[in-house]
Structure 1
Amino acid sequence: MQDAHHNTSFDPNEEDVNIKEILLKYFRFWPWFIAAVTVTVLMAFLYLKYTPTVYSTEAKIKIIDDSKELNIGADALSMLSGKPKINLDNEIEVLKSYRLLSQVVETLDLQVDYLVEGNIKTTPVWEAPFKIIHTATADTLSEAQTYAIRWDASQFYITDAEGHTFNQSKVTATPTTGLPFYVITNPSQNNDNTKKYKVNIKPFKQTVMDLAKNIEVQSTNKNSEILAISLKGASVARSEAIINEIIDKFNNDGIQDRQLVSKRTLNFIDERFIYLSEELDSIEGNKKSFKQDNNLSYIEADAGISLQKKSDSEAELFRIETQIELSNLLKKTLTNDAPYNLLPANIGLESSAINDLVSEYNQTLLEREKLLSSAGANNPTVKVLNVQIASAKANIEQTVTVYAQQLKMGLQQLQREKGRVGAQFSSLPEKEQLLRAIERQQSIKENLYLILLQKREEAAISLAVTAPSIKVVDYALTSSIPVAPKSKIILLGAIILGLLIPFGILYVIFMLDTKIHNRQEVEAIIRPIPVVAEIPFIEGGELFINPDARTTVAEAFRMLMTNINYTLPPTETQKARVVYVTSSIKGEGKTFTAINLSLAYSSLNKRVLLIGADIRNPQVHTYFQLEKDKKGLTSYLFNPSITAKDCIIKNESVQGNLHLMLGGSIPPNPASLLSNGRFGTLLKELESEYDVIVVDTAPTVLVTDTLLISKHADATVYVAKANYTDKNLLEIPKNFHDEKKLRNIVFVINNAGQSKHYSYNYNYGYGYNEDTTVKKPWYKRFLKS
């Protein structure tokens, strides 16, 4: 019979039932979840209401390559690799450099934040009805200072953080003693003095550093030459003004770098003009004096082939001497100029190699100046560029030297040729030869002057029409959707947080809770011991006194009695069936269960004897309001002369078929009394007098009394109390069952449904004046209300 009952305790849908039970365990606390979600959502609304709205502003620019000479091989390789030829990382560093951003802060006066105080939050504005004019230098402030400003028709009233108020006339707008600024009216704004304004003045350096931290510059993709500049802020107008100003400053900075070469060329040519003018004046004066001293007039050109050869030779000689002079000028510039000065470009040298080297030198020098302003002199890249510049300068000097040597060699050859041609003119007067020499020097200086003049005009045109360094793809644009706070995400997060907080608290409570609460928890531990009944929680306890009662307790113990009968082994004799009632520890309700079980059997007109065998802590007498020291079980066990009938109490006031045997006086040696054999004799003596003998025994964990007399039981009812018995204690009766120390164990759960965590609906009423009103589910009642 026990095995049959055990088999029925397995449910094929047990896993689903457990999941449902877990969900219901949390769902019973639905008011907690609703309250937590309400609080978190309310906090989210307050946060959204008081938090300034932040928008993202973005602009896009394309960096233009500023190299004047295209390297076809490098361009082709760049196109094949798909990577931009411009180093965008360097441009990003320049855009975020302190030097550039300090110009933006100074131009837009970003040190001053204008704020409008509202009833809920303070909102930043870009244009206020007044302007702050600084009277101190940029870095005199050591920390931010806040002032409240209000005004009337004639005066401004400025209040500092300490509550001191300063008055300033709106007409004169003169600095006020004690303030690092004065206030003027902003004519572009409405003079509305109904709002409360504040200004926050920050240190200059801190403002620049904050802007560098907040500004974001990045390439749109790895193969693009376009940079995206973005800034987040509460004031859309302020963010757009800052980004547009950064673009303008960056573009002007690049233009100024390009103009440096042209300016240096102009300065060099202007300096050479002074020396050339003096030399021309000197040559012309010498020519005049020579002619006057030697009575010379205009000399006709030589005739014939000899004269033509001489003329060609002299022309080539003139060209080479001009190149030698230009080479000497460039070499002199290399020698005399300070380090890292730009060299004059394209001054007339016919050597393309020298012109290319000078152009590359100037380009490298400009790149060094850009990087030096943002990265510092100790930057590894700057040091590498220093080495490259020194190397390029030495290379130019060496190339010029070699070129001059080549010219001199050509000059020597021409001079030898000139000597041969000159022999043909040996008949010419020596004075004519000297005059030709003077005229030749004059022609050289005049041609050099014209070349420099032409190059000066080219440099001036280049300076005037310098191309921009960037192309603006998009000026600053602000999205209409704020980036913060994200209301949907915050509200969703608030709802999730509101659900997680009570769930987490309940999870911790449930995890730390080691007590049993329901039948499923008990069955999961004590298998294969069956659970035959659950006794519902009744405030104050209740005895099954009225045999015809239809109360919850009465029906529960009737069910317990019926299930116990199914577990009792069959017998053909008429002897009494002995049922033990025990538990693990004190306070689990075994005495209450034993008494009501006895009353349940008695209600069926069975002869029932209830024995109080918990002789260490007897409690049966308290339920029947009897004296504790009446003759009872200990008297019978201790004194052989006392019979069982001498210890039995017939209490007609409860139920006539129920007799009692109290525990008696507490003995000094309970274990010895229970093991002396007299308890078995007692049961033998009474087995023919009663139908059922219910024995209230001692807790099994505390003492061994129950185990000493366990062999006499036909069934052992093991009581566990919901919300009281620890789960670990259930291993003890399981071990007793496995080791067969207790006979025919069945479980009863007392106080079931007491906890709201694991409530059950116990309604055993069936007619007979019982309340048969069916309660609607909570959600239907809720919807109806």
Structure 2
Amino acid sequence: MYPNSSPINSNNTQSPFMIQQEDEIDLKVILFNYLQYWPVILFFAFAGLVAAFFFNRLTTPIYKVESTVIVKDENNSLGADLFESAGLVGLQGKSNIENEIGVLKSFSLAQETLNKLDFNVQYFEEDFLKYNQIYGNYPVFIKVDWTKEQVVGGLFKIEVIDESNFQLSIVENEFQIFNPNDPYYKTNLEELKLSQDVFQFGQPVKGDSFEFTVEKVSAIGGEQVFFKMIDTPSLALNFKDQLTVSPSNKQSSILILGLETPLRRMGEDYLNKLMETYLQRELDDKNRTAENTILFIDQQLSGITDSLRGSENKLQQYRSENKIFNLSQEGSIIFERLQEYEKEKGMNEVNLKYLQTLSTYLGSGQAGELVSPSIVGTTDPLLNALVQNLSELQAERVRLTANFSDQTPQVRDINARIQSTTKALQENVNSAITNTKNVLADLNNRIRMIEQDINALPETERNLLGYQRQFTINENIYIYFLQKKAEAEITKASNMPSNMILDFGKSGVLPVAPKRSLNLLIGLILGFILPIGFITVKDFLNTTIEDPKELEKQIKVPLIGMIGRNNSDDALPVFNNPRSTVTESFRSLRADLTYLSMQREKLTLLFTSSISGEGKTFVSMNMASVFALMGKKTILIGLDLRKPRIAQDFGLTNDKGMSTCLSSNTSWKEVVKPSGYENLDVILSGPIPPNPAELLLQEKFSRIIKEIKDNYDIVVFDCPPVGLVSESKELFAFADISFYVFRQGYSIKGNTQILNNLVEKGGVSKIYGVLNDLHIDKGYGYGYGYGYGYGYGNNSYGYHEEVQLPWWKRALRRQK
């Protein structure tokens, strides 16, 4: 029933040279894919530069302010070596660099620093699309009472009316209420309203949650000043986050403090005050020991002074009344022995009182207020070492808690060490108290024995010895405490911070931000990347066939021809526009058929596609036209019985055609219609039948085709899409050569598998691919839509009409 046709054997092997050449062309394809969008890419690159320029213009310059501090190992202060035995030297050990960095970056230090500065009111001047903060030389000065509730965060505007009055308005109504009784938690304020808008300079400006005074400095009529109020905790948190502290190198103890700010002088003032506050805090820690010692001695002196005065008065009175001034030789000997024991007893009683006070401190958790044991004459080395170690641990804990919470490992470790040291010290103190009491008991026994010898003296001398004894005891204790107080005061006066300011705050001349050149480069790069990325993503997500090279790789048959876009409304450019590039595409395809048909005089061609709209009817019509122009007797048969198009394109009436012949006794010759062009006849599809598939499968169709082939040189089938209907697969057997039409930018990439299945499973041979409507240039050799796809270019010597190429294509073509 169906004529046989032998398949064409093809050798698909390629030489290494061909593969390398193909890889090189792929790179050019990628390049051309982006170059076709060059106006868009250049536009975005220019837009990126413009955006970067305005970003640089609108961004406030930021300057880097730096200062340096030397962190030293603590040395004894001047004169402290004189009183080392008294325990009055500083108790801090070697400074830890990391801890010092923590202290410098602590919130508490920042808050203490800002309390000494007047940064709570920020002043601004209006600039192009922004507000620039100013520092110093303010036109007006705002006095704020921070002991009362104040609104913070929002932006006020002052407009000077005259020498006495100004107008106040709100620019940014984003206020919070600061309560000094709860300074770390602010409440939001939905909207702030002013009861009036005109105020006098020097008069309080009051509202529901604010009160401040505006003082005129140098403002003139019409001048505008913007300001906002910020509470100290918020400022401290801001400065704390902005401050950077780092060692100059790993081995150095020099710390570099850095602050980035738009106001260089304000940054310098803050760093200088921060370093001063830091050193003062260190000095205060050192002086705390001496202050505690002086306080303890003053408490003891307040009691002993009264006793000394009373005993002195009694001694003088007794001497005057009894006219006795000196003791006898025997009494003097007894007094000297008694005086020695009484002095030793007094020292031990002072020591016992200190130990009891120390025990009370330890029990109440007030170990941070300890006085060194050496100040009261305690020479126990273990007790002295424990007290000194506990004081150092307490000072270390104060430093750590300034920057870390109680749950951090460092604080938890120091707390454990403090607890362990306190326990050991408490045990040692209890033992020392017991020993001191034993010593006092022994001294009391010795004193009682001497008192027996005193009883043997005359009554007058015995009473004088008692008064003299009491006075001497009080005098010795009083002199001892005065000496220790003088030592503590000298130590306090000689204390100096172990750390030192090396360089005060100094700002760089050039801003560190914005980086103008870098921003311009980033803008340019982003301007290129955004469109290129969009094009890449678009191509990646694109499911239609765009690149002829990609199509060649996907199909398992040769891509024999490529038809350029028909830029006119004429469906038959071969007849009506013979010098167009589209016509040349069909001529080239016709020439290739010479090698595929083995010089056969008669030829039957079949055109199909995957879906409707891919241009198979357009290709089949114009291929028939090309052969007709050669003088070949050609007939075009419309076999798409479901959706006919040929009649409309030729200006014919589809009243009869192939469906008429197959469904009646009408001869095929009766339905042949002249196309209006020489050597070209047309058999239309005819009226749409209810059973198109069954009609084409009749044996009558086979006889009709055989008769048509006998009467014509070239027979062209315009078949229905093989991806949509089934009868197209049966029509391949009637064709000598079949063509599968794809359309650039329209055909789905997955439809190539339909063609591959026809070859692999359907046994279809002599089928080739054709790419229609080629208009997107993907690289060298495929620019048919621009009129140089076959190498004719601008110097085409009259072969066909030219479309002027873009300048970059002409330049690249010259390089090729």
How does the TM-score come out when normalised to structure 2?
0.80
Instruction: Give secondary structure in 1 for the equivalent of 2:227.
Output: strand
> Per-residue deviation at 1:551?
3.1
Question: Is structure 2 residue 277 aligned with structure 1 residue 246?
Answer: no
Say which of 469, 492, 513 aligns to 2:542.
513
> Per-residue deviation at 1:687?
3.6
Matches of 1:636 and 1:773, distance apart in 2: 45
Say which of 762, 767, 777 aligns to 2:787.
762
Match of 1:181 in 2: 212
Matches of 2:806 and 2:466, distance apart in 1: 130
Q: Structure 1, residues 576-613: CA drift from partner, whole Å, max 9, x if none? A: 32222222222222222222212212222222232223
> Per-residue deviation at 1:457?
1.4
Matches of 1:295 and 1:724, distance apart in 2: 138
> Per-residue deviation at 1:570?
6.2
Contact in 2 for aligned 1:139/1:205 (Cα 8 Å): no
> Per-residue deviation at 1:218?
5.0
- Count of matched residue positions in the alignment of Structure 1 and Structure 2: 748
Matches of 2:153 and 2:709, distance apart in 1: 98
Letter in 1 for 2:807: P
Contact in 2 for aligned 1:722/1:752 (Cα 8 Å): yes
Q: Structure 1, residues 389-423: CA drift from partner, whole Å, max 9, x if none? A: 8547635642542452463476479669979xx98
Contact in 1 for aligned 2:339/2:473 (Cα 8 Å): no
Matches of 2:594 and 2:404, distance apart in 1: 95
Q: Which moved more, 1:734-743 or 1:723-732?
A: 734-743
Contact in 2 for aligned 1:138/1:204 (Cα 8 Å): no
Match of 1:116 in 2: 125
> Per-residue deviation at 1:113?
0.2
Contact in 2 for aligned 1:569/1:714 (Cα 8 Å): no
Matches of 1:751 and 1:638, distance apart in 2: 36
Matches of 1:362 and 1:545, distance apart in 2: 105
Matches of 1:273 and 1:313, distance apart in 2: 26
Matches of 1:131 and 1:238, distance apart in 2: 18
What runs of 5+ residues in structure 1 fail to find an aligned partner?
A: 70-83
Instruction: Give secondary structure in 1 for the equivalent of 2:468.
Output: helix
Instruction: Give secondary structure in 1 for the equivalent of 2:532.
Output: helix
Inter-CA distance 638–400: structure 2 relative to 1 (3 Å threshold)? closer
Matches of 1:393 and 1:499, distance apart in 2: 73
Say which of 619, 633, 638 aligns to 1:607.
633
Letter in 1 for 2:759: H
Instruction: Give secondary structure in 2 for the equivalent of 1:515.
Output: coil
Say which of 148, 152, 161 aligns to 1:143.
152
Instruction: Give secondary structure in 2 for the equivalent of 1:132.
Output: strand
Inter-CA distance 450–734: structure 2 relative to 1 (3 Å threshold)? same
Contact in 1 for aligned 2:390/2:418 (Cα 8 Å): no
The within-5 A match list for 1:181-200 is: 181-186=212-217, 196-200=224-228
Matches of 1:240 and 1:490, distance apart in 2: 27
Match of 2:659 in 1: 634
The within-5 A match list for 1:745-784 is: 745-753=767-775, 759-760=783-784, 761-763=786-788, 766-768=796-798, 777-778=807-808
Contact in 2 for aligned 1:721/1:749 (Cα 8 Å): yes
> Per-residue deviation at 1:317?
3.1
Letter in 2 for 1:202: I
Inter-CA distance 274–772: structure 2 relative to 1 (3 Å threshold)? closer
Inter-CA distance 38–534: structure 2 relative to 1 (3 Å threshold)? same
Match of 2:648 in 1: 622
Matches of 1:637 and 1:120, distance apart in 2: 80
Matches of 1:276 and 1:394, distance apart in 2: 28
Instruction: Give secondary structure in 2 for the equivalent of 1:160.
Output: strand
Q: Which moved more, 1:254-263 or 1:773-782?
A: 773-782
> Per-residue deviation at 1:112?
0.2
Q: Which moved more, 1:272-281 or 1:765-774?
A: 765-774
Matches of 1:732 and 1:689, distance apart in 2: 33
Matches of 2:744 and 2:803, distance apart in 1: 28
Contact in 2 for aligned 1:345/1:359 (Cα 8 Å): no
Matches of 2:510 and 2:337, distance apart in 1: 80
Instruction: Give secondary structure in 2 for the equivalent of 1:52.
Output: coil
Contact in 1 for aligned 2:67/2:257 (Cα 8 Å): yes
Q: Structure 1, residues 21-46: CA drift from partner, whole Å, max 9, x if none? A: 12211221111111122223222222
Q: Structure 1, residues 716-771: CA drift from partner, whole Å, max 9, x if none? A: 12222222221222211221122354331022221111689985333467545856
Q: Structure 1, residues 46-102: CA drift from partner, whole Å, max 9, x if none? A: 222222122232333234566969xxxxxxxxxxxxxx9434555455445555433
Matches of 1:385 and 1:155, distance apart in 2: 65
Matches of 1:48 and 1:28, distance apart in 2: 32
Matches of 1:97 and 1:58, distance apart in 2: 18
Instruction: Give secondary structure in 1 for the equivalent of 2:111.
Output: helix
Inter-CA distance 93–610: structure 2 relative to 1 (3 Å threshold)? closer
> Per-residue deviation at 1:384?
4.9
Contact in 2 for aligned 1:150/1:197 (Cα 8 Å): yes
Instruction: Give secondary structure in 1 for the equivalent of 2:375.
Output: coil
Contact in 2 for aligned 1:105/1:208 (Cα 8 Å): yes
How does the TM-score come out when normalised to structure 1?
0.83
Contact in 1 for aligned 2:351/2:378 (Cα 8 Å): no
Matches of 1:149 and 1:26, distance apart in 2: 56
Inter-CA distance 549–229: structure 2 relative to 1 (3 Å threshold)? closer
Contact in 2 for aligned 1:129/1:192 (Cα 8 Å): no
Contact in 1 for aligned 2:564/2:585 (Cα 8 Å): yes
Match of 1:590 in 2: 616
Match of 2:164 in 1: 155
Q: Which moved more, 1:196-205 or 1:529-538?
A: 529-538
Matches of 1:399 and 1:706, distance apart in 2: 113
Contact in 1 for aligned 2:160/2:222 (Cα 8 Å): no
| Aligned-pair Cα RMSD in Å | 4.1
Match of 2:85 in 1: none
> Per-residue deviation at 1:380?
5.0
Contact in 1 for aligned 2:662/2:700 (Cα 8 Å): yes
Say which of 721, 732, 750 aligns to 2:754.
732
Say which of 308, 326, 351 aligns to 2:350.
326
Letter in 2 for 1:132: F
Match of 1:719 in 2: 741
Match of 1:468 in 2: 497
Matches of 1:141 and 1:40, distance apart in 2: 44
Question: Is structure 2 residue 448 aligned with structure 1 residue 407?
Answer: no
> Per-residue deviation at 1:360?
4.7
Contact in 1 for aligned 2:41/2:527 (Cα 8 Å): yes
Instruction: Give secondary structure in 1 for the equivalent of 2:116.
Output: helix
Say which of 25, 30, 55 aligns to 2:33.
25
Inter-CA distance 264–582: structure 2 relative to 1 (3 Å threshold)? closer
Contact in 2 for aligned 1:537/1:754 (Cα 8 Å): no
Contact in 2 for aligned 1:6/1:530 (Cα 8 Å): no
> Per-residue deviation at 1:270?
3.1
Instruction: Give secondary structure in 1 for the equivalent of 2:698.
Output: coil
> Per-residue deviation at 1:773?
9.8
> Per-residue deviation at 1:339?
6.0
Letter in 2 for 1:126: Y
> Per-residue deviation at 1:476?
1.8
Instruction: Give secondary structure in 1 for the equivalent of 2:152.
Output: coil
Contact in 2 for aligned 1:518/1:752 (Cα 8 Å): no
Say which of 241, 265, 278 aligns to 1:237.
265
The within-5 A match list for 1:657-672 is: 657-672=679-694
Q: Structure 1, residues 464-501: CA drift from partner, whole Å, max 9, x if none? A: 33312531132222233433333333323322322232
What runs of 5+ residues in structure 2 fail to find an aligned partner?
A: 1-6, 78-92, 171-192
Instruction: Give secondary structure in 2 for the equivalent of 1:181.
Output: strand
Contact in 2 for aligned 1:590/1:719 (Cα 8 Å): yes
Matches of 2:152 and 2:104, distance apart in 1: 26
The within-5 A match list for 1:220-235 is: 225-235=253-263
Contact in 1 for aligned 2:571/2:649 (Cα 8 Å): no
Inter-CA distance 735–463: structure 2 relative to 1 (3 Å threshold)? same
Question: Is structure 2 residue 135 aligned with structure 1 residue 105?
Answer: no
> Per-residue deviation at 1:152?
7.2
Matches of 1:342 and 1:98, distance apart in 2: 27
Question: Is structure 2 residue 586 aligned with structure 1 residue 577?
Answer: no
Instruction: Give secondary structure in 1 for the equivalent of 2:753.
Output: helix
Matches of 2:475 and 2:649, distance apart in 1: 139
Instruction: Give secondary structure in 1 for the equivalent of 2:115.
Output: helix
Instruction: Give secondary structure in 1 for the equivalent of 2:648.
Output: helix
Matches of 2:34 and 2:265, distance apart in 1: 51
